Amino acid sequence: MRLEQETPHLYMRVLTKEYASQVLEFYQNNAETFEKYEPIVGTDFYSLRYHEKLLQHEYNEIIKLRMLRFWLFEKNRPNKIIGTISFHNITPDIFSSASVGYKMDADFRRRGYCYEALVSGIYLVSKEIGIRRFEALVLPENAPSISLLEKLEFSREGLLKEKVFLQNQWRDHYLYSLLIK
């Protein structure tokens, strides 16, 4: 599998720990939004060392095909991270499933970039790893994410009660899925 993909408007790249400062900047610039939807990350999350270790860990998992994370760059600004899509809990064989995640920089939302990247990523993971079921969790009040998933033709399967611990409480999440036939 190639560690860089190209779409009409984006470069999608797997990053190594040498990009930790850019990844840290991406998270710092979007902390207010991302922290609404993510678990509490600890006191060292906003440190360069944390992201160096995380990128190294993710790279090792990518090589083993346990996960895949692409960082997104506009073609006309190929050095600034504008988002990320990920496929984790990759389970081929009898389950043939993966969980989908995504984040976009606030300045680059509603341009179709996340949709474009996910279409490309889902196709890649389906064809090259053989995954046929993709799942996504989303908070019921996250209307932009729900809209994106439905545009991608994910179906809502139900509400998972108290699924994820966010903002010091257990939060319900919708489970969405996409089946590739």
Across the chain, which has 181 residues, the per-10-residue mean pLDDT values are: 92 97 96 83 87 96 95 95 97 94 95 97 96 97 96 98 91 97 88
> Under CATH, which architecture does the 4-136 domain have?
3-Layer(aba) Sandwich (3.40)
Query: Using CB atoms within 10 A of its CB, is residue 68 exposed (0-12), middle (13-18) or buried (19+)?
Result: buried
Q: Which residue has the tokens 């600004």?
A: 77
| E runs forming strands in 75-168 | 77-91, 97-104, 133-138, 155-166
Name 50's Cβ contacts closer than 8 Å, sequence gap at least 6: 24, 44
User: What pLDDT is stored for residue 59 in this prediction?
Assistant: 96
| Rg, C-alpha atoms of the chain | 16
Q: For residues 153 and 176, give the distance between their C-alpha atoms in angstroms, rounded to a whole number.
A: 10
Q: Is the pTM of this model over 0.75?
A: yes
Amino acid symbol at 142: N
Q: Reduce the DSSP state of residue 164 to 3 states and report it.
A: strand
Interatomic CA distance for residues 136 and 145, integer angstroms: 10
Amino acid at 106: A
